[in-house]
Amino acid sequence: MRGFLDQIFVNAKQQILSLFAGTPDWVGQIVSSLLSISALLAVFLSLFALMSLFERKILARIQNRLGPNRVGPFGLLQPAADGIKMLIKEDIVPLRADKVMHFLAPILIAATAILALGIIPYGRNMTPFAIDGGILFFFAVGSTTEVAVFMAGWGSNNKFSMLGAMRAIAQMVSYELPLIITVLPVVMVVGSLRPDAIVAAQGGYSLGVLPHWFVFTPWGAAAFILFFISGLVESNRTPFDVPEGESEIVAGHMTEYSGFKYATFFLAEYFGMFAVSGLAVTLFLGGWHAPIRVLEIVPSYLWFFLKLGVLLFVFIWIRGTLPRTRVDQVMNFAWKFMLPMAFTCVVAAAIWHYQGRRFAGYLWSLGLLLLVYFALSRFLETGKKFAPRVYRFAE
Q: Which residues bind other proteins (CB under 8 A)?
A: 25-26, 98, 100-101, 131-133, 136-137, 139-144, 146-147, 150-151, 154, 169, 173, 191-194
- Nearer to other proteins by Cβ, of 215 and 276: the residue is 276
Closest contact distance (angstroms) between CB of 102 and other proteins is 12
Could you tell me the CA-to-CA distances from 290 to 200, 258, 285, 293 in Å, in that order? 12, 43, 10, 7
Closest contact distance (angstroms) between CB of 136 and other proteins is 5
* Side-chain-side CA neighbours of residue 175 (13 Å): 26
Closest contact distance (angstroms) between CB of 195 and other proteins is 12
Is the distance from CB of 132 to CB of 193 less than 8 angstroms? yes
- Nearer to other proteins by Cβ, of 53 and 108: the residue is 108
- Nearer to other proteins by Cβ, of 139 and 373: the residue is 139
Angle at 33 between CA 30 and CA 34, to 5 degrees: 85
- Nearer to other proteins by Cβ, of 41 and 131: the residue is 131
- Contacts from 62-68 at CB under 8 Å and sequence distance 24+? 62/317, 62/320, 62/321, 63/320
- Nearer to other proteins by Cβ, of 117 and 222: the residue is 117
The amino acid at residue 87 is: L
Closest contact distance (angstroms) between CB of 155 and other proteins is 9
- Nearer to other proteins by Cβ, of 3 and 133: the residue is 133
Closest contact distance (angstroms) between CB of 344 and other proteins is 17
Closest contact distance (angstroms) between CB of 233 and other proteins is 16
Question: Which residue, 298, 308, 289, is CA-closest to 5?
Answer: 298
- Nearer to other proteins by Cβ, of 114 and 215: the residue is 114
- Nearer to other proteins by Cβ, of 134 and 299: the residue is 134
The amino acid at residue 151 is: M
- Nearer to other proteins by Cβ, of 171 and 300: the residue is 171
Closest contact distance (angstroms) between CB of 140 and other proteins is 4
Closest contact distance (angstroms) between CB of 169 and other proteins is 7
Closest contact distance (angstroms) between CB of 359 and other proteins is 28
